[in-house]
């Protein structure tokens, strides 16, 4: 092995050239691919360790030769005068891609205060003390979020990286800590919030709910703006807490939900929210248009239109007979036509226009449910969650963390 440090006009001041040669002696019985892989897997750890060490010493010497170093003294802040203590000191263990690597510490001493500093991790750009640098745990964390832990363990071992499921699990938890979801002020002021039941250890099936808040993107897709696990009733506050400040910047935010009003508790009084609750919303809005049409509140005409609308908009969600639902919708549509005709004849211009306008979308949700389609974008997100989380039982934080990484990868451009 040799190292050449060139001062070349074309390369940046801190660039160095490393020439790495190695000699490897191996005894082989045949040249089958399997045998070559086996031999390579013995060679690889040696190369990775030597290669890394070589590069570290190269950069250590390069920075030591400069007036201003690439590191500074932790004690006094000096970044100019140091002397070498050792280039091959005590071993320190780091999980690199492919395997644990034992590196010899590079140590220098501050000439100002006498403090000794290990510069290995500073040169690597990894956190002090950490055995699994974020560069590595993000990769493992992503694999662990995409596949069950057992599968992730198998996959990495197939490529010569023998790690325990626990190491992969830990990497998921660490990676999740680095991910934070909130509304993006550059995307649309529109989104959806919904929950899905998940299995948590020690709690009866579907005892806890994973709550997801997605924001619509200008490009047409969605991004994750909030994620939490909580009880079925309420507990929506944390879902929005990171986003409240950003949402205040929007004039208003259109939030589509399935009608659980407790979803809004976390936002009340802080953000102007327009909730689109299919059907649920209609009678409310009708009060406003009736007022515009000058129909006296609670007069017999007012009561007639309102009560008809309420009937039409009331859906019994637990009717599971398809024929019955179809017939119900057909009846409701006829009834709606009568209301529109009635309002038109009486000159309730705004009311008639409003109902006419809402008509095409009024039963979309229930009709789609019949044909197995769904218009909800958050529904798709939930399927992405369930494909991973439905494998096994989880702790609350375990399920939340694996979902965080998974959704960040699928929807928020997170990558390792």
Under the criterion CB under 5 A, does residue 85 sit at the interface with Zn ion?
Answer: no
Tell me the closest approach of the beta carbon of residue 114 to Zn ion, in angstroms: 7
Distances (CA, A) of 342 to 85, 255, 302, 304, 338: 94, 32, 12, 10, 6
One residue of 78, 196, 242, 374 binding Zn ion per CB under 5 A: 78
Number of residues interacting with Zn ion: please give it, by CB under 5 A.
8
Contacts of residue 158, defined as CB under 8 A and 6 or more positions apart, other chains included, come to none
One residue of 56, 59, 73, 295 binding Zn ion per CB under 5 A: 73
One residue of 110, 267, 295, 312 binding Zn ion per CB under 5 A: 110
Question: Six-digit token pair at 156?
Answer: 């990495």
> Looking at 77-85, 211-219, 269-277, 333-341, which segment touches Zn ion (CB under 5 A)?
77-85
SS3 annotation, 174-211: HHHHCCCCCCCCCCCCEEEEEEEEECECCCCCCCEEEE
Question: Six-digit token pair at 252?
Answer: 């208003």
Is the Cβ of residue 74 or residue 367 nearer to Zn ion in the bound state? 74
Under the criterion CB under 5 A, does residue 176 sit at the interface with Zn ion?
Answer: no
Under the criterion CB under 5 A, does residue 113 sit at the interface with Zn ion?
Answer: yes
One residue of 112, 130, 350, 369 binding Zn ion per CB under 5 A: 112
Is the Cβ of residue 113 or residue 303 nearer to Zn ion in the bound state? 113
Distances (CA, A) of 183 to 4, 67, 204, 214: 50, 46, 33, 8
Tell me the closest approach of the beta carbon of residue 57 to Zn ion, in angstroms: 22
Is the Cβ of residue 97 or residue 113 nearer to Zn ion in the bound state? 113
Is the Cβ of residue 73 or residue 255 nearer to Zn ion in the bound state? 73
DSSP bridge pairs for 194: 212
Ramachandran class of 179: left when φ > 0, alpha when ψ lies in -120 to 50, beta otherwise: beta
Contacts of residue 294, defined as CB under 8 A and 6 or more positions apart, other chains included, come to none
Is the Cβ of residue 115 or residue 170 nearer to Zn ion in the bound state? 115
> Looking at 45-53, 72-80, 99-107, 159-167, which segment touches Zn ion (CB under 5 A)?
72-80
> Looking at 30-38, 67-75, 193-201, 335-343, which segment touches Zn ion (CB under 5 A)?
67-75
Q: What mask, x for binding Zn ion by CB under 5 A, covers residues 123 to 142?
A: --------------------
Is the Cβ of residue 122 or residue 138 nearer to Zn ion in the bound state? 122
DSSP bridge pairs for 17: 4
Question: Six-digit token pair at 154?
Answer: 């198998």
One residue of 85, 87, 104, 115 binding Zn ion per CB under 5 A: 115
Inter-residue contact 257 to 240 (CB < 8 Å): no
Contacts of residue 22, defined as CB under 8 A and 6 or more positions apart, other chains included, come to 1, 46, 47, 50
Inter-residue contact 273 to 246 (CB < 8 Å): no
CA-atom Rg of the chain in angstroms: 31
Tell me the closest approach of the beta carbon of residue 131 to Zn ion, in angstroms: 26
Under the criterion CB under 5 A, does residue 312 sit at the interface with Zn ion?
Answer: no
CA distance 48 to 25: 16
> Looking at 16-24, 75-83, 177-185, 230-238, which segment touches Zn ion (CB under 5 A)?
75-83
Binding site for Zn ion (CB under 5 A): 73, 75-76, 78, 110, 112-113, 115
């Amino acid at each position: 092995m040799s190292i050449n440090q060139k001062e070349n006009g074309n390369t940046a001041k801190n660039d160095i050239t490393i020439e790495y040669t190695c000699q490897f002696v191996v005894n082989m019985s045949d040249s089958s691919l399997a045998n070559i892989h086996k031999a390579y897997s013995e060679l690889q750890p040696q190369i990775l360790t030597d290669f890394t060490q070589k590069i570290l010493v190269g950069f250590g010497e390069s920075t030591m030769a400069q007036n201003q170093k690439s590191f500074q003294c932790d004690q006094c802040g000096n970044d100019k005068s140091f002397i070498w203590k050792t280039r091959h000191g005590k071993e320190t263990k780091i999980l690199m891609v492919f395997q644990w690597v034992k590196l010899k510490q590079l140590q220098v001493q501050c000439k100002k205060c006498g403090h000794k500093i290990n510069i290995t991790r500073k040169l690597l750009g990894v956190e002090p003390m950490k055995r699994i640098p974020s560069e590595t745990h993000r990769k493992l964390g992503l694999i662990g979020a995409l596949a069950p832990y057992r599968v992730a363990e198998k996959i990495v071992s197939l490529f010569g990286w023998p790690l325990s499921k626990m190491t992969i699990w830990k990497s998921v938890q660490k990676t999740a800590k680095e991910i934070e979801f909130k509304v993006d002020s550059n995307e649309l002021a529109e989104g959806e919030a919904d929950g899905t039941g998940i299995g948590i250890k020690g709690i009866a099936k579907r005892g806890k709910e994973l709550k997801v808040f997605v924001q619509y993107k200008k490009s047409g897709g969605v991004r994750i703006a909030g994620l939490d696990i909580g009880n079925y009733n309420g507990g929506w506050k944390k879902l929005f807490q990171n986003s409240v400040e950003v949402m205040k910047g929007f004039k208003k935010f259109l939030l589509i939900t399935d009608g659980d009003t407790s979803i809004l508790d976390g936002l009340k009084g802080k953000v102007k929210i327009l909730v689109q609750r299919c059907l649920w919303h209609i009678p409310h809005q009708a009060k406003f248009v009736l007022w515009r049409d000058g129909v006296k509140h609670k007069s017999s005409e007012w009561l007639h239109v309102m009560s008809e609308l309420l009937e039409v908009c009331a859906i019994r969600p637990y009717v599971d007979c398809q024929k019955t639902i179809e017939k119900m919708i057909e009846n409701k549509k006829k009834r709606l036509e009568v209301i529109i005709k009635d309002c038109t004849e009486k000159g309730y211009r705004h009311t008639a226009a409003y109902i006419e306008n809402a008509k095409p979308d009024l039963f979309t949700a229930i009709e789609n449910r019949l044909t197995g389609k769904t218009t909800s974008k958050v529904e798709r997100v939930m399927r992405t969650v369930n494909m991973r989380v439905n494998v096994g039982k989880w702790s609350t934080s375990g399920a939340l963390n694996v979902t965080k990484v998974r959704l960040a990868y699928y929807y928020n451009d997170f990558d390792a």
